[in-house]
Every structure is written in C-alpha cells, then in structure tokens.
Structure 1
C-alpha cells in the first residue's frame, strides 16, 4: 500500500498507514453484504479509491470544516482525514446501511474531528461549513442548490469530476453567476494510470440562506433504500426493461420528467412507486400517500436509466388490455399492429391517436405497448389510447376487410378506402403473409431505398385515409 501511494506522490506515516489499513479491511469485510464498492482488486482500491480521495489535498486548498457530500462508504472523506488529520470532516450520508458502516469505521479509527451526518443534504440543512467536497455524479448545478443553506460566505465547493464536464460547468456558471464564482478548473491524471480527473472549485459569494426543499412535504411516504443488485425489488425493476418482464409482472417503468408528471396527474392510483437516485428529488407534494419511495444507489439507478434522463421514474401498474371482438360492422379504420420492435409499436400508436383511429389492435406478434421504449416512443399516448388484444396474424378471419401495406401493392394515391376496414402492415423482417398480398397497397417512393420503416409507412397510410374520409364509392 505504501509503495502504491508513494507512486501517486502521497507519503503517509506509519500511523497513517495503519489507519488506512484498518479502513481497508473494514471496507473489504462489509462490502459483500452492503455493496460498498465495485472496485475490489487491491491495487485498484489503493489507487482509484484511497489515492484518488487524497489527491485533491495536493491540488488545492482544503477548508475546514469540510463536508464530504454523499460520502457513501466514506470517500473521499475518510482517506482525506487520514492524510490531513488537521481537517475537521463531516461525512454526509442518508442511506442507513452506509451510515452504520461509517460509524463502525469511526469507532475503529478514533479520529477526532470526523463525524457522520445521518441525513441527505438539502437547502434546508443550515449547519455552517467552510467547504464541501464531493465525488458524486450529480450535476454541478444541482449540488450548488443543495448546499445553499450550509456553505458560508467565501466557502468553497470542490467537485471531483471526470474530464468531460464542460457542459455542467457552463450551466452552473451561467445559472449561479450571482451566487458562486468558478475559481479553479484543474485537469490532472492519477499518476501511473490512464485515469483522467478534473478538480472544479466554486467560491460562495453571499452568506448561506436557508431554503425549503421540495422533499419535505412528502415524508409520509414509505422509503426503501436499495443498494444491492441482489435486492429482489431491484431485480424486478430490471426485468421491466424488457418486454417479457413487463408482461409477466404487469408493471412498467415510466421514464422522463414530462411522462412521469403526466401519469402522476392522470392515473395516480396506478403509480406504485417513485424511483430516484439516492434521497434527492423526492415525490412531489401532491403525490398519493400509497406511493413508495425507492431510493436506489447511483450505480443501480444508472442501470435503470436506459434513456439517460437522470430524472426520477415511476413504477406503473398498467391496465389489462381488453380482447378484440373482430366486429366487421364497425365503421372507420381499425389498426392491426404486428410490430415486434417496441419503438415501432409506440410510434404507430402515437400516429393512430393523432389521426383519431378508434380501435388499435395489438396482434399476438406485437411487442408490449407498455414496454418503456414503447411508452417513450408514443410520447405517452399509450396511456390514453383505446387498445385491444387481437389474435396472431395467421388466425385473423379470412373475411376480415383488411387493407394491407406491402411494396408490391397498388399505389396509395389510387386507393379508395372502404367505410369499414382494418389497416395492417407486415412485421419487420418477415413482412406480410401471402394471403393478404392481393389486398395490399403500397407507398410510392424512389428506388434508392428498398422499403420504409413499418411505423412510418403505417403513419403515411393513416394520414392519407384521414385526408379522404368520404372517398369510398
């Protein structure tokens, strides 16, 4: 350990090495149970965890008292305290299992001036500190808002970031130009590794101001902190990233601020849980009382955040789709969807809703319309569309008035749509079954491409039908 730290320019005394070794052994002992770190190779732990935590002390002035925001298993705070025993450091952590681990470390090390703050830090936290340091992945602007109530005038907020944070810096500098000054932006590299780092520091201009937080009114929600991949709730949430899991569990994940707000407003009774990264961004004040608040560790939340929204999600209990009766007398257009790509399903449901199609029938081949990708592609229209569950394509009645889409069909401009018909495109890849080829229509296009995307082609046909609703003879 001493050799590895020396390679990084860090020289610890024998006492300090003993203290770091105690911390290291405790981290290894409790990691399997608490999922404290994903770095488990000894050399990587020393360099990427301990040395990385201490390097800011060599790069910039560290004020005291200094808060380690979102300390997790104690980094950078504990290695920093060992390296710089003159600093008073507060380890701010809200997840109870990690709080208990931090207390275990503190009891073992007996370091004066090292304390655990057992809560999430929000603008209402008003214990004054001279500085904040954080390795968290939260955007810089969000952290500057979070510490508004505790950082003293001329206090410093130190961000240990990766090399690509220019957009975060630009936004924070723009949004907080009257409150904070960007005073340092120092790129560096962990010695003898390819790991690039960036130390970004802001100085507080004004005195701290206590601000009420959005999360305070919703403390009545049951909270579950989830930190392990083996947690059964998290396992189910991961299954909902795929169509098979959505179908089996009858639930889905709604992602994106606008879509989450819409389902919370339109169907609060179907919203089962609010899912966030840690304890920040809690449920809104008007959220239903039955809603659970699932606080995931940052790595687990990133696994679910497949669209990169960085915003809370909602666990949604979607309704059972009613069966289609294949009523041949129904007037207008009924849309038959066989698409296996959930994004195509969502996109065509959005188009069908826009063109006022009354019956949207999902054939057995279709991807689940409540797949997270389908929900996003539908822009939320899947929640209000009239959906039916139909049979497989091969089991559709022969006398069903189907207008099918195929490259070999009659040109769309020459078609007179019936008063009552079912519009159907072929599946991606296999295309259209032979028995529907004779009734097929096609969309004229240049010879530069072989075919259109199935959802796009269907949308064009729906637009043409809506343009001439009374063309039938």
Structure 2
C-alpha cells in the first residue's frame, strides 16, 4: 500500500486536510483491509485501490472542516464511510458507525481491533431501532433522501445537534420536501480532486419552537 501514499497525501493537501504520518499510515492500513475484505465480501462496488482513495477516503474527509467536537454517528455507514476516516483524523471525537448489514459491521469491528481505533463504536442494526445517543452530529453519505434521513434519525439528535448530509448534485427537490420543524442551515460544494461529478455537504437542523426563521434567503443558500 505504500505506493498509494503519494496519491493520498496529494489529495488530502488538495482538500486542505493536514494529516500526521501516523494518521496517513492508519488510513492506508484501513484501505488495505478494505481491499482485502472486499474481494470476499463485496463491501463496495469500487475495486481499484486508487479509486478507493478518491471516492472513499478523500470524499469522506472532505467534510472534516465542518466536523465539531462531541459525539457523532454515521448512519448507513457501509464499510465505515465516512465514520472510520473521521475517527482516525479526529481521535478526540466520539464516533459511532451504524449499519444493518452484518458483514459490513463485522468488517468495521475488525478494522477497529486491528488498527486500535479506541474512539470508534460500531452498531449492527437498523437506525429506526437504535436507542443510543443523543448525538451532536448525524452524518449520512448517500444513505437516504433528506426527508427520510431526518425522519429516521431525529430521535438520535441532541437538542442542538445537526445533520450532515453528503450528496452529489445539489438536491433542490429534496430540500423542498423537508419535514416540518427542520431547516437548511448551510450548504457547501466540495471540490474533490480527480472527480468530475458534483459533491455537496448540506447541514440541517431543527427550528426552535419558540423562534421564527427570519434569515434572508441568501443566508441559507449555497456557499
């Protein structure tokens, strides 16, 4: 995996993420495990390790500037994306990953054990039945529509918690169908290297019952 170090370090630099040598080592070790397990368990449709760096590692870490402290849960985590890369880069952050697919959570537990990621907690189950929390940030990466994400995970959110939805094209139609009580706080276009398609991060939160949203339209628009 050492031949992929230059690719990973170059892409992290391009998205403004600074990683120590030890963190790069852990990210590459995670990549090696993903490549190995993927051959037997079909954890991701992406097969080429270099493409995994771009579409999985770099994509996951592109939201790092908007990750704050406290507790974070990654719902529909699959093989641990973006939860595991975030846990590696932010060892002080309490990260939980949740997925209903047993082979994917078994893989995540193996990663946690082999790499010694002590701030990572893995849950095998359905998000609607999860009783953990509350969480300060709820992250999803192509998990569901915005409406479904908010409805299925609202019970996991702390009072001031926010939802971070990673999307491709800017989801105009989905934003028009947000459930009552939720609003778009900000959105950010993610400029990923070696990627042609669009990527966006949408940050959503609850509307306090005692307040009225008076923000101007451009305050909630795309950044």
TM range (shorter): 0.7 to 0.9
Aligned counterparts, 1:317-332, within 5 A: none
Structure showing greater relative contact order (alpha-carbon pairs closer than 8 Å, 6 or more residues apart): 2
* Equivalenced residues, count: 202
Q: Shift of residue 192 of structure 1?
A: 4.4
Q: Shift of residue 132 of structure 1?
A: 0.4
Q: Distance in 2 between matches of 1:192 and 1:46?
A: 10
> Unpaired runs of 5+ in structure 1?
208-473
Checking the alignment, whether the CA contact within 8 Å between 1:153 and 1:205 is kept in structure 2 is: no
Which SS does the other structure have where 1:189 is aligned? coil
Larger radius of gyration, structure 1 or 2?
1
Name the SS for the 1:196 alignment partner: coil
Check whether the contact 1:7–1:191 (CA below 8 A) recurs between aligned residues: yes
Q: Structure 1: how far apart are the matches of 2:195 and 2:68?
A: 24
TM-score computed with the length of structure 2 as normaliser: 0.84
1:157 aligned to which of 148, 151, 163: 163
Aligned with residue 193 of structure 1, among 189, 192, 195: 195
SS of residue matched to 1:159:
strand
Measure how far apart 1:124 and its partner are: 6.1
**TM-score w.r.t. structure 1 length?**
0.41
Alignment of 1:125 with 2:125, yes or no, is no
Cα deviation 1:152-180 (Å, max 9, x = unaligned)? 111010000011411011101xx22x2x2
- 1:145-294 counterparts in 2 under 5 A? 145-172=151-178, 175-176=179-180, 178=181, 180-205=182-207
Quote the offset at 1:188 in angstroms.
Answer: 2.6
Secondary structure at the aligned position of 2:142 is classed as coil
**Alpha carbon RMSD of aligned pairs, Å?**
1.9
Question: Does structure 1 retain, via aligned residues, the 8 Å contact 2:31–2:49?
Answer: no
Instruction: Quote the residue 1:21 is aligned against.
Output: 28
Gaps of 5+ in 2: 210-223
Contact in 2 for aligned 1:92/1:118 (Cα 8 Å): yes
Partner of residue 10 from structure 1, selected from 7, 17, 25: 17
Q: CA deviation at 1:95?
A: 1.1
The equivalent position to 1:62 in structure 2, one of 56, 65, 68, is 68
Question: Which residue among 23, 37, 41 is the counterpart of 1:30?
Answer: 37
Q: Aligned partners of 1:21, 1:12: CA distance in 2, in Å?
A: 12
Post-superposition offset of 1:10: 2.5
Q: What is the DSSP-based 3-state SS (H/G/I as helix, E as strand, rest coil) of the residue aligned with 1:97?
A: helix
